[in-house]
Amino acid sequence: MEDFGKKKVLFVITQSEMGGAQKFLVNLTKKLDKNKYEVMVAAGPDGGGELFNILKRHNIKSFRLKNAKRNINLVKDVMEIFELRKLIKEFKPDVLFLNSSKTTLWGPKAVYFPTKIKPTPKIIYRIGGWSFNDPRPKWEKKLWILIEKTFAKYKDIIMVNNEHDLKQAKKLNINPKGKIELIYNGIDINEIEFLSREESRNELVLSNEDFVVGTIANFYPTKGLKYLIDAVAILNNSYFISDIKFIIIGDGPDRKTQEARINNEELSKQIILAGRKENAYKYLLAFDLFVLPSVKEGFSWAMLEAMAAKLPIVATRVGATPEIIQSNRNGLLINPANPKELAEAIKNIKGSEQLRRDLGDKAFQTVISRFTLDKMISQIEKLL
C-alpha cells in the first residue's frame, strides 16, 4: 500500500561496503522524518553487504542491485541500467538521489533512455569527491571530466561537500539543470558511543603502554596508505623511533599489495591491519593520534569522528580537509604523497602531550560548532 502524501526518495549507490558515501546514506536516511518521507536505498553487492545489515537494523527499506559493479563492465553496466529503470518504475520516486561516480551514468540513462520515465523524478547527484581527482592515467581523468560534463545536464541538483570540488565544477563547466549546492557533512556527537580506551585496546590487541597511531580507511589508492607505510619506515630508519604501534582499520582491493610491502620491509610487528570493523569509530579512543594520509578526499567522516573523540589529527591538504583543519590549531596539515612530512608530524605530536591535548580539544570544539548532523539534514531537506 502506498503512503499517499509522503515524498518518495530512492537513494542509489554502487557498493554496499561501509565507506564514506554509505555512512552519509545511513546518517541521512535514519534521521529523515518518516511521516514526511518514504525512502529506499538501492546498492550493489560489492563490498560485503554491511550497508544492508545496518539499514535493516534501522528499518530502512533496501534493494540489492545485483548487476551494480564498482569497476567498468559493459555487459553488467547495461544490465544495471535496465535493472535500475525497472526499480524506478515500480517504486515511483519523487526524487532519485545518486551517490557515487558510476551512478552519474546509470541514473540519467535509467530515467531518460530509451524514453523518459513519467512522472519524471527530480535527480539529485551527491558527489563525495570527483572521480577525475583519483590517481588515474591522464586519459582516464579526461574521460571522467567529459562524462560528468555530459550527464550533468540531466541532473536537477549536484551536491558537493567541499569548496574545492565546487570550484572545480564551476571551472570545468559541470552544470546541472538547476544548481550546484555545497553541504558539509555533519555528525551527532550524542549518538557516538566510543568504547573506553581499555576496552578498545583489548579488542584490538594493543597494550595500554603503546603509543598508537591509527586510521580508519579502506585500502584504495586514494587513501594514501602506502605513504603511511613509508612514513613508518622513515621513523624507524631516519628518526630511530620504533616504539609506535600503527593500526589500520579497513579492507579493500589494495590490502594484499600493502600487506606484502609491510612484510617485505619487516614492519609487521609495528603495523597492525585490523580489517573491516562494523562501527569502526567505536575504537577511536584506542588511538593517541589519528592520521588521514589521503591523496584524494571528499569530506572524511572518520576524521569528524576522530575530532569528536578529541584526538589530535594529522591530515593531508586534499578535498575538504583544509576547510576543516586549521594547521597548528585543531590539527596538523601536510602535503599529500609526502611520507617524510607525515613522519615528522607524527614525531612532533608524539613528543608533546600538551600539543596532543590542545589539538584534540580544539578539534572537538570545531565539530560541535560547525559540523552537526542536524545542520546537514536541514540543508538537504530543502533540496528534496
pLDDT in tens, 55-110: 999 999 999 999 988 777 788 888 999 999 999 999 999 999 999 888 988 899 99
Query: pLDDT at residue 2 above 80?
Result: no
- Per-residue pLDDT reduced to its tens digit, 92-107: 999 999 998 889 888 9
User: At how many degrees (to 10) do helices 301-308 and 20-29 cross?
Assistant: 70
- Arithmetic mean of pLDDT, 12-27: 92
Say if CB 313 and CB 291 are below 8 A apart.
yes
pLDDT for 1 equals 45
pLDDT for 278 equals 86
pLDDT for 74 equals 81
pLDDT for 288 equals 98
pLDDT for 33 equals 93
- Per-residue pLDDT reduced to its tens digit, 221-253: 999 999 999 999 999 999 888 899 999 999 999
Which contiguous run of DSSP H or E holds residue 10?
strand 7-13
User: Grid cell 584534540 — which residue?
Assistant: 360
Q: Does the domain formed by 7-182 have CATH 3.40.50.2000?
A: yes
pLDDT for 341 equals 98
Say if CB 229 and CB 271 are below 8 A apart.
yes
Residue 26 confidence class, pLDDT cut points 50, 70, 90: very high
pLDDT for 185 equals 95
CA distance 266 to 139: 37
Say if CB 252 and CB 327 are below 8 A apart.
no
- Per-residue pLDDT reduced to its tens digit, 293-328: 999 998 999 999 999 999 999 999 999 999 999 999
CA distance 145 to 165: 12
Residue 42: closest CA among 91, 115, 104, 6 = 91
pLDDT for 5 equals 81
Domain ranges of the chain: 7-182, 197-370
- Arithmetic mean of pLDDT, 194-206: 96
Count the alpha carbons within 13 Å of 371 in the hemisphere toward its beta carbon.
27
Query: pLDDT at residue 4 above 80?
Result: no
Whether the domain at 7-182 and the domain at 197-370 fall into the same CATH topology: yes
- Per-residue pLDDT reduced to its tens digit, 246-295: 999 999 999 999 999 999 999 999 999 999 998 999 999 999 999 999 99
Query: pLDDT at residue 379 above 90?
Result: yes
pLDDT for 294 equals 97
Question: Maximum Cα–Cα distance for the chain, whole Å?
Answer: 67
- Arithmetic mean of pLDDT, 25-37: 94
Domain 197-370 CATH superfamily = Glycogen Phosphorylase B; (3.40.50.2000)
- Per-residue pLDDT reduced to its tens digit, 134-189: 889 999 999 999 999 999 999 999 999 999 999 999 999 999 999 999 999 999 99
pLDDT for 65 equals 94
Percent of the chain scored above 70 by pLDDT? 99
User: At how many degrees (to 10) do helices 103-112 and 138-152 cross?
Assistant: 30
